[in-house]
């Protein structure tokens, strides 16, 4: 596969760990995944219901705004479009906010993204990946167990919410956790959109 290093990035073989706050401890009893916002029918899915959705395997490059890029990690997960298929979107939904745990608050972290670029096979909510020996490993608690988002490589990795808890469907773009603090709304590594 051809390697494309975005400007200002360097390649790493390791998979660094980056987040704010505590590492979420999974509890299947209390875990749930919420589909809400501009939809006709809000949904609350149990872990079992989420894991029963169709799965895909994809290999993607990860680009962190702190300048490391990790090429070609293979993930298995549930495509964003499978969640979109469960709701009836109101007219003019063009953005999503992806929520995740931050210090015990299930909606404390969030990242905004345009919906259209997330409808392919390279936008998965992942639960396992292939390690350097090509063996499947569960995503570790530090990397977002039981479920985290991995964005297409046209977005910096902060858009990849770990310990995900839901998707809010939005008409207009809104700033998420890092975007509020001055990071880019669009976050394309190839255009080096780090800040706004």
Contact residues for ligand MTE, defined by CB under 6 A:
15-20, 64, 100-102, 109, 143, 157-158, 160-163
E strands, 7-89, are: 10-11, 33-37, 43-45, 56-63, 68-79
Tokens of 156: 């910096």
Q: Is 155 in the site for Mo ion (CB under 5 A)?
A: no
How many residues interact with Mo ion (rule CB under 5 A)? 3
Q: How far is CA 136 from CA 72, 132, 150, in A?
A: 14, 10, 17
User: Of 10-18, 29-37, 110-118, 127-135, which part binds Mo ion (CB under 5 A)?
Assistant: 10-18
Residue 136 CB, shortest distance to ligand MTE, in Å, is 17
Tell whether residue 158 is a contact of Mo ion (CB under 5 A).
yes
Give the other-Cβ count within 10 Å of 114's Cβ. 14
Length of the chain, in residues: 196
Residues 39/169, Cβ–Cβ less than 8 Å: yes
Rounded alpha-carbon distances, angstroms, from residue 27 to 1, 24, 31, 165, 167: 38, 9, 6, 12, 20
Cα 56 to Cα 10, 13, 74, 148, 179: the distances in Å are: 28, 24, 10, 14, 29
Closer CB to ligand MTE, 79 or 189, in the complex: 189
Whose structure tokens read 């495509």? 79
Q: How far is the CB of 14 from Mo ion (least distance, A)?
A: 15
Smallest distance from ligand MTE to CB 88, Å = 28
The answer to whether 12 contacts Mo ion (rule: CB under 5 A) is no
The interface region with Mo ion, picked from 56-64, 84-92, 117-125, 128-136 by CB under 5 A, is 56-64
Q: Is residue 181 at the binding interface for Mo ion, with CB under 5 A as the rule?
A: no
Binding mask 62-101 for Mo ion (x = CB under 5 A): --x-------------------------------------
Which of the choices Mo ion, ligand MTE, none does residue 143 contact, using the CB cut-off of 5 to 8 A by kind? ligand MTE
Peptide bond connecting 146 to the previous residue in cis, omega within 30 degrees of 0: yes
* 160 binding partner (options Mo ion, ligand MTE, none; Cβ < 5 to 8 Å by kind): ligand MTE
């Amino acid at each position: 596969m051809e390697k494309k290093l975005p400007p200002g990035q360097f390649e790493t073989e390791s998979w660094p760990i980056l987040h704010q706050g505590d590492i979420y401890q999974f509890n299947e009893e209390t875990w749930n995944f919420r589909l809400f916002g501009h939809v006709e029918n809000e949904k609350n899915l149990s872990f079992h219901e989420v894991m029963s959705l169709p799965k895909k395997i994809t290999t993607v490059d990860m680009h962190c705004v702190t300048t490391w890029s990790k090429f070609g990690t293979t993930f298995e997960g549930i495509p964003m479009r499978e969640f979109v298929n469960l709701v009836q979107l109101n007219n003019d939904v063009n953005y999503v906010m992806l929520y995740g745990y931050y210090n015990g608050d299930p909606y404390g972290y969030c990242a905004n993204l345009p919906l259209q670029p997330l409808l392919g096979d390279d936008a998965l909510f992942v639960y396992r990946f292939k390690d350097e020996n090509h063996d499947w490993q569960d995503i570790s608690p530090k990397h977002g167990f039981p479920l985290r988002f991995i964005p297409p490589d046209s977005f910096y990795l902060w858009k990849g919410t770990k310990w995900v808890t839901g998707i809010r469907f939005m008409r207009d773009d809104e700033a998420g956790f890092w975007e509020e603090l001055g990071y880019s709304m669009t976050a394309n590594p190839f255009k080096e959109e780090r800040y706004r």
